[in-house]
Structure 1
């Protein structure tokens, strides 16, 4: 029985010795479980009880540590559940009459929020490829049932859960940063402790390599008068050989040095010797600059020589006259693409301009505030001619001519219209008045329908046609108020007007002030700055239940009005 107790005490003491390395300075991550401890073998057991006191240095004085729910003292252990940044400092433990057993400096490192480890809290292990190796998790837990998870570069590594990570044969691909995370249960909560190892796997030192010139003998196509730069590079192996030399010969003759003759600029010269270190390989290089290729250069041998110890390597370069170079592929491709795209772009822009000609012109007028009416001596922007024969009158047409047309053009777009029935006082000579008012107007708007056959309307039309076609003083705008299938009732001279000066009214579809009808009409009207208080829609017109309101004005069938 005594022997059994002794063995248990020996095993416990050995385990404690293993868990409590004598380190003066210790680093730990915030938020993790950690403990300070010392081997029980450092205590001198006596028959009487003894007291262990833990201290932390505060403002140069030792302050006794009192237990809390987070910091617990158990004989030779001081546990942190978990460690916090404020725990950093100098610690010591005493026994009996203030006999100091051990001292530590504890550094609590701030956790990296964007990574699973802190670069200051890792160890580095360097191993050679091809050998077996094992990464050991720094065990801060006594309970072997605590779960373990391994990470490589902060990603779960092959679901490994053992305390040791074994590699039977290391390769360079095994290099990385491995993090071991132990989960520890305490008072119903789960804490964790991590240790991070940076594993560097190096390849075995390469065998000695014979020096050689990179590339084989070659012929370079060139042109007379062109500049050529010949490059010669030699591979020296994995150690820089100080006695290595690399140089050019032109038909067994040394060329001039480019840096030796600053004033006399030689046609062919040799650049300075350069050493290169790429990875673990060493190179030397030298350029031969031919500033203008001559005919005689096509018959020369340009020889590059690499010498180190007694080994010699050579490479011969010759120049030959090449065929006339074709256009570079990228330039040819770019040219073809442009040749195809440009016509497409031009056609597309032309189509857009034709389709949106009216919108573009109106936009230009608004931007430039263009005004074609200033200083031309005209009083009205347009004279409105429509059917006035009461025998076949159309109330909708009269409503359109006397109310809708002036409301939109005058109130929304600032035009001034002359409507005989509205603006001319009765009693005058009708023919003379019509001729006079058309002469004062910049446009003649004719509201055209099958009923446009009255004597007065025909006179207005013929007078306007005379001014448009003969005197070229007034432009005519035809509004096709109702669809017309036969224009034989109109004067033959009307066919001489451009078809683009006809605007078709489509009832409700044309009512909105931003409809295509009003845009086309404004396009044919003289340019004039638009009022800022333009209304968005003419639906505010009271047109009755059927869309039109009967005209209540009087009508003298024997007169214009």
Structure 2
């Protein structure tokens, strides 16, 4: 016999009294093995006991009933969840139809509580059931069946929700390791942080979630208890119908040299199998990229700075280099004068030479200067003495202004003597000073001077051209005097010759001069005559 009882209190123990369910109430109906409470109220909540008894034994089972206020047909608490593999077929049946106290009933199906289910070639309502011929993602969701039935002359209804979830189709369910790949090498730096990534595939299994973990020398992190190793729970990268692609990272806060010899292995496991793979480690060779970058940057900046300084102060740099490393020509030749000055007489050039140029070269820079009008002896032959003076000088300084030097006989003789000495291999170097005329017709004189200078430069006769710019060139720190000093002989701070040596050189110079004067004069005169 089957009997129904109910505990008298909502929270009961096994020792609390039980009362038979009053079947005389019109809201309670016992039909076969089912107890129907029709139009349930909040007071019907509680513990119900089903007892099956015969002459020799007794079996009972407890069922808790919870009654909720009416909300809608889609009450979350009344849902039954099922999983249907993709591409498979499945039939949805409304529960408890076999226990209805009446054979007169009808069933209505709803999808997502919005509308009746629309039949299609892959799914249709067939009688009291919903037949899914081929499960697709679009068919997942909440299905609700509403049953209307007759009992004791009244019409009742109940609803039941079925939450359908689309899962991956049937197939191999063994887990797989995607990363680290076979043959992949992880580069680590000793003393720095290292992160190792384990990426795995966990196929769907009913009511089961796979596991992913790391081991070091076949020991889990819990067994090692080393604070340097941490591994947060895996995170899901991809979920395709509950087939999961997951990732779990092993963090090593400070990688030691001893860790290079350890085995770091990733494991993945579910009820269908287990897989593992170890990572291959290689030590990264430290390249001081930051230091190299900074060093290169500083080098380039310094080079740029030096280039700019050289472009701005190139004259000062050359003069400084000459004063440190230059060779004093007084130690290498037997010349008597450093500079021979050639200029046009009775012109502005003569005033410039006598008042400015001669004074600065002799008094300020310490050069020995030869000026024919000042240093020649009376009664001598002008041509011969001019040739001797030029040949005994290291530089021939020619003052040019609108080619005036070539209209003066003495200046022309001096210029031709210097050119002849250069052409015949003598150590006389020609330096031009382009003197700007102070006359009113400045443009005309300047143009003629430029023409003369260009012709001399084209013939490669002049060693250099230095331009006088009037008041701007007067200070000794002006570019004019610095450029001129670059073309004149080097003067070192300490002259490495003794008085005895100087006396011998002077004697030798006098002898050579007497011996070579006729020959030199003959050569230069020949040049002048042919000119």
Q: If you compute each CA radius of gyration, which structure gives the higher value, 1 or 2?
A: 2
* Class of the TM-score when normalised by the shorter of the 2 chains: 0.3 to 0.5
What's the TM-score, normalizing by structure 2? 0.39
